[in-house]
Amino acid sequence: MAVQLDPLRCVIVDDNPHFLAAATNVLERQGIKIVGTFNTSADAIRGIEALRLDVVMVDVDLGEESGIELAERIHQHISFPPPVVLMSAHDEQDFADVIDACPATGFLPKSSLSARAIAEILGRCRSTG
pLDDT in tens, 8-45: 999 999 999 999 999 999 999 999 999 999 999 999 99
Question: What is the amino acid identity at position 34?
Answer: I
CATH code at position 91: 3.40.50.2300
Q: Domains in the chain: how many in total? A: 1
Assess contact for 28 and 118: CB atoms under 8 A.
no
Residue 2 domain-assigned (yes or no): no
Residue 109 domain-assigned (yes or no): yes
Higher-pLDDT residue of 97 and 4 is 97
Instruction: Please report which confidence band the pLDDT of residue 86 belongs to, taking 50, 70 and 90 as the band edges.
Output: very high
Radius of gyration of the chain (CA): 14
> Rounded to an integer, what distance in angstroms lies between the CA atom of residue 120 and that of residue 43?
27
Q: Is 84's pLDDT higher than 80? A: yes
Residue 63 domain-assigned (yes or no): yes
Structural domain span for residue 52: 9-128
Residue 1 domain-assigned (yes or no): no
Residue 40 confidence (pLDDT): 94
Q: Is 88's pLDDT higher than 80? A: yes
Average pLDDT, the chain: 88
Q: Give the ranges where the chain is alpha helix by DSSP (H).
A: 17-29, 41-50, 67-77, 96-101, 115-128
For the chain, how many residues are written?
129
Residue 4 confidence (pLDDT): 45
- Segment among 29-38, 95-104, 106-115, 120-129 with least mean pLDDT: 120-129
